[in-house]
Structure 1
Amino acid sequence: MALPDLDSSVGHSFGLEFDGVLIKQITEISGLKFEQEVIELKQNTNDGKYMIKKLPGRPKAGEVTLTRGLTSDNSFEKWVKDSRFGKMSTARKGGAIVVYDYEGAAIKRYKLVNAWPKSLEIGALKAGDTSVCTEKVVITYESLEVE
Structure 2
Amino acid sequence: MATLREDPYGPFNFKVTISPASGGEFRGGFSDVSGLNTEITHADYREGTDPANRPRKVPLMYKAGDVTLKRGLIASLDLWNWVNQVRRGNMDARATVVIQLLSEDHAATVASWKLINARPSKWTGPTLAAKGGSDVAMEELTLVCEDLEFE
TM-score, L = length of structure 1: 0.88
* Structure with greater proportional strand content: 1
Structure 1 segments, 4+ long, off by >3 Å, are 43-47
Q: Which runs of 5+ in 2 are unaligned?
A: none
Identity within the alignment, %:
29
Task: After superposition, give the CA deviation of every residue in 1:98-123 in whole Å (9 maximum; x if it has no partner).
Answer: 11111212211101011000111012
CA distance in 1, matches of 2:72, 2:141: 12
Match of 2:87 in 1: 84
Q: Report the secondary structure of 1:7's partner residue.
A: coil
Q: Report the secondary structure of 2:86's partner residue.
A: helix
Question: 1:22 Cα shift?
Answer: 4.9
Question: 1:56 Cα shift?
Answer: 1.6
Question: 1:24 Cα shift?
Answer: 4.3
Match of 2:120 in 1: 117
The match for 1:33 among 31, 37, 54 is 37
Match of 1:71 in 2: 74
Match of 2:148 in 1: 144
Matched-pair contact (CA < 8 Å) for 1:62–1:142: no
CA distance in 1, matches of 2:54, 2:87: 48
Matched-pair contact (CA < 8 Å) for 1:26–1:68: yes
Question: 1:4 Cα shift?
Answer: 5.2
